[in-house]
Amino acid sequence: MSNAHEVAAGRLREAYCGTTIPPLRETLEPADVEGAYAIQAINTRYWQSQGRRIVGRKIGLTAEAVQKQLGVSQPDFGVLFEDMRIAHGGVLSSTSVIQAKAEAEIGLILARDIVMADATPHDVAAAVRGAVAAIEIVDSRITDWKITFADTVADNGSSAFFVLGSEERSLEGLDLLGCKMSLTVNEEVASTGVGSACLGHPLNAAAWLARTLAARGEPLKAGDIILTGALGPMVVLTPGSCVGASVEGLGSVSFTFEGKRK
């Protein structure tokens, strides 16, 4: 870890006030995995020292097309804090984000720790308490979303907020591979997708995360929330919008993006 990483981490934290920063080219090469996660870890420790509580992880870049766009062959992850959670049917103020987008996902809640460095999708399924429909609100502190893989990792996976549906379901009998997703804005369909869009299967993404975190000495814990990755294209958020998503077998989830229209 270098002083340059500390400086970059500080710039990202300052950007949360609402002013974006240029891509981190002076500090990170586009594919600098270790440097990017080092910056993310600096800010995670800082936020924990300020009283924020980790409740899980989000997985990003689970679509092959997006990986190709950023020149990588792997997903990424970011940290979920309790204060990022919006209640199902709740409100997110447009003043809390900079250039927000929404995507529909499958959320998993763990009943047991996953400590195996070689965890499989079967291992993950055995540790899951239940699954829920979820919406992740992503944001970027990088101007105009001009991100590389390293930029988004350093920026906590371009995370912002998340909403979980109220209908937690056991995995037994669920078709997470073929389940269809529909995301609406003001009751108009804005994005559609299917479970297989998430790294071939949402449990594949969760197993990748479990292995990655175990190898880093930060294994997933009982009670953790896992946002497994987008099932369809992201949608740009406009103030005054009601955003909802439904996932077959998991019900629906929604929130209102409150603020004045420009």
Give the whole-angstrom CA distance, residue 12 versus residue 24.
Answer: 9
Looking at residue 68, what is its pLDDT?
A: 75
Write the CB contacts of 177 (distance below 8 Å, at least 6 apart in sequence): 195, 196, 201
> With respect to CATH, is domain 3-258 assigned 3.40.50.450?
no
Looking at residue 69, what is its pLDDT?
A: 67
Give the whole-angstrom CA distance, residue 95 versus residue 160.
Answer: 12
Catalogue the E-assigned strands of 165-205. 180-185, 188-194
Looking at residue 260, what is its pLDDT?
A: 61
Structure tokens at 176: 């997470």
Contact call for residues 207 and 84 (beta carbons, < 8 A): no
**Domain locations along the chain:** 3-258
**Length of the chain measured in residues:** 262
Q: What angle do CA 246, 146, 19 make, to 5 degrees?
A: 90
pLDDT tens-digit profile of 161-215? 999 999 999 999 999 999 999 999 999 999 999 999 999 999 999 999 999 999 9
Cβ-based neighbour number of residue 109 at 10 Å: 18
pLDDT tens-digit profile of 49-90? 999 999 999 999 998 767 776 677 789 999 999 999 999 999
pLDDT tens-digit profile of 95-134? 999 999 999 999 999 999 999 999 999 999 999 999 999 9
Looking at residue 64, what is its pLDDT?
A: 79
This prediction has a pTM of 0.95
Looking at residue 74, what is its pLDDT?
A: 86
The residue assigned the tokens 């204060």 is 83
The order of strands in the sheet holding 90-93 is 90-93, 251-258, 241-247, 180-185, 188-194
* pLDDT of residue 262 exceeding 60: no
Tally the C-alpha atoms within 13 A of residue 220's C-alpha that lie toward its C-beta.
34
